[in-house]
Chain A
Amino acid sequence: MIAGALVFVMMVFLIAYAWPAIRFNGIGILTDPVWNIGNQYGSGVEIHNGIAAQPGAEFGGAVFIFGTLASAALAMVIAVPLSILVAIALVYRVAPALQPLVNALVELMAGVPSVVYGLWGTVILVPWIGQRLGPWVAEHLGGIPGLRGDPGSGNGLLAAGIVLALMAMPFMVATVRDVLLAQDRALFEASMALGSTSWQAVTKVLLPSVRSGVFAAVLVALGRALGETMAVLMVCGSALNQFPQNVFQAVNTIAAVIVSQLDSALTDASGMAQRSLAELAVVLFIITVGVNGIARWILHGMSSPGTVRGA
């Protein structure tokens, strides 16, 4: 039961620790874009709700919450269609003799540590976005909202989204593959017998029949993308106090900001910065547990349980 108590203790402990910050920040933790630990050398205090922090201190999480949601959403936009296509190709087009090999490669991809994805992102992906893709898009597609404006250095929302998509794909491919393989082959043959093309059989009959499994897999992958720290931290540009004006510009996520701002937060004499980071951790906790809860609820109502398990 240690395992059971653990989640509860973690949540209660973090909330208790963050409680002064929760009172100090109020709703601002969700809506205020400014993160400022205050003047550490000035006199006086900033008081909200009877809680004191350094003068000028303001702990808004809006930029980080936006970055967390936007980078994970972008990752899903890239990864979901690709994963489904890959899984379909894997199940229906790869020769049976080759399947174990491709499966092993997919599993290998799932085992790559997040810092290695981050390393690849830092050294290969970010310079490519910053020096090639960004300027090219700015020149040729500059009129489109979301692409307009300064393409930045390459560290930003797009880089974070691509790296997260790569990290999410092995799990989604494996899960979609498993639910497709668990389906009765007769479905495919019945559809073919009615005169459909093989593609129609797969997309109009088989995919709809496993949609809840696919949807649950997407949600589990989304939960992981929301909480991913290192790979995002290395390529997101660690934005503070500003929202990105296009998909290339710097963002920051809750998980990344906890790592990148804790050193700075430790210098806050009032301790409110550390507690506010804990409050952000609680927000992230609630978001990811919520997403996983929905995934579980969907899986629970599934007709063929047991086909989707966490990797």
Chain B
Amino acid sequence: MNVVARNVAVARLWWSASAAALLLVLAVLAAIFGFVFIKGIPALRDPAIFVTVTSGVAGGLANAIVGTIMLVAGGVLLVTVIGIGTALWVTEFAPAGARRLLRFVIDVLAGVPSIVVGYFLYVALVVGAGWGFSLAAGAIALAIIMLPYVVRAADLALSGVPRGLREAAFALGARPVTVAFSIALPWALPGILTGILVATGIGLGETAPLIYTAGWSNFMPRLAFTHAPVAYLTYVVWSFINMPFERSHALAYAAAALLMIAIFVLNLVSRTAVDYWVRRTRGRR
């Protein structure tokens, strides 16, 4: 076989291999989705699952659903304030060196394993500060996990504010604070919002930082920040699948399917709704 023929044959072979790899990955993805939905949807058909609390390893998921919403809402609230504050300070007010340092620290924080964050908060807050397993500790854990995503998105969005826009505002005599809050922030808002939605999806799917901060409870979460453990959906997926009961397995699959649906919807919203919003508002200007 001459060189050209061999090279062409090799190319064909490898292109087939790469196509096969792509198909393999899509097949595995389809298998995971199919598996979760086929097993999870039947259990979700029964509306009782949304209104009954888990009793031991049976019952419904009401407490876990409400707990997940409370924990993620708490985390998102915290991370929105801290994340946007950090990004605003760095892009608008801080000296140039601070920005590089912050980006470095955010990268480091993004690399910290979530269980390390969870264990740190367990030692510091749950035991150290005596909060016990609680909503506050869990929400703080989620906020720390989400922080890098929000700060990066906000930093990127704020850096994208056109220079001319800022200069025009300054030329009109605006103070730096006015420029930051009335010019830069509104302009960057869609980008920041996308970051927050992505972070919300991450928070929904987290387990490791919650196990030793939020704990687990068979009851509806109370509106207490400390001394009250909170249930959450990922815990159900993790622990109920190892129980020997049919009902616990059904609950685990149902929780997994619910989480996937929620994350799917969040992704869809962050892709389409935010785009639509940007086009509408920018279009009008």
Residues of A within 8 A of B (CB): 1-4, 6-7, 10, 13-14, 17, 82, 85-86, 88-90, 93-94, 102, 104-105, 107-109, 111-120, 122-124, 166, 169, 173, 196-200, 203, 220, 223-224, 226-230, 233-234, 255, 258-259, 262, 274, 277-278, 281, 284-285, 288-289, 291-293, 296, 309-310
Q: Which one of B99-107, B169-177, B276-284 contacts A?
A: B99-107
Distance in angstroms between the alpha carbons of A217 and B139 in the assembled complex: 30
Residue from A113, A120, A203 in contact with B259 in the complex, judged by beta carbons closer than 8 Å: A113
Across the interface, which residues of B come within 8 angstroms of A258, CB to CB? 115, 119
- Name the prevailing secondary structure of the A interface residues: helix
In the A-B complex, the 7 residue pairs with the closest CB atoms = A227-B113, A113-B205, A199-B11, A292-B111, A229-B208, A197-B11, A85-B21
Across the interface, which residues of A come within 8 angstroms of B82, CB to CB? 2-3
Within 8 A of A (CB), among B83-118: 83, 85-86, 89, 101-102, 104-117
Are the CB atoms of B267 and A113 closer together than 8 Å?
A: no
Residue from A116, A198, A230, A309 in contact with B32 in the complex, judged by beta carbons closer than 8 Å: A116
Asked if B238 CB lies within 8 Å of chain A CBs, one says yes
Q: How many A-B residue pairs have CB under 8 A?
A: 212
Distance in angstroms between the alpha carbons of A93 and B16 in the assembled complex: 10
Q: Size of chain B's interface in residues, with CB distance under 8 A?
A: 73
Residue from A85, A196, A197 in contact with B18 in the complex, judged by beta carbons closer than 8 Å: A85
Across the interface, which residues of B come within 8 angstroms of A6, CB to CB? 109, 144, 147
By beta carbon, the residue of chain B nearest A199 is: B11
* Also in contact, A111 and B205, with CB within 8 A (given A3-B109, A7-B109): yes
CB distance from B234 to the nearest CB of A (A): 5
Asked if B29 CB lies within 8 Å of chain A CBs, one says yes
16 new A-B contacts, CB < 8 A, other than A3-B105, A117-B32, are: A1-B102, A6-B147, A17-B123, A90-B22, A94-B22, A113-B206, A113-B259, A113-B263, A115-B205, A116-B259, A122-B242, A199-B11, A229-B115, A234-B238, A284-B113, A292-B111
Are the CB atoms of A108 and B32 closer together than 8 Å?
A: no
**Which of B110, B111, B122, B208 has the largest number of chain A CB atoms within 10 A?**
B111
Residue from B113, B119, B152 in contact with A310 in the complex, judged by beta carbons closer than 8 Å: B152
Are the CB atoms of A113 and B114 closer together than 8 Å?
A: no
Residue from B19, B83, B86, B147 in contact with A89 in the complex, judged by beta carbons closer than 8 Å: B19
By beta carbon, the residue of chain B nearest A296 is: B107
CB distance from A78 to the nearest CB of B (A): 11
A-B contact pairs, 18 of them (CB 8 A): A7-B108, A14-B123, A85-B17, A89-B15, A111-B201, A115-B238, A116-B205, A118-B238, A119-B252, A124-B31, A196-B7, A198-B11, A199-B11, A229-B207, A230-B238, A234-B238, A255-B113, A291-B111
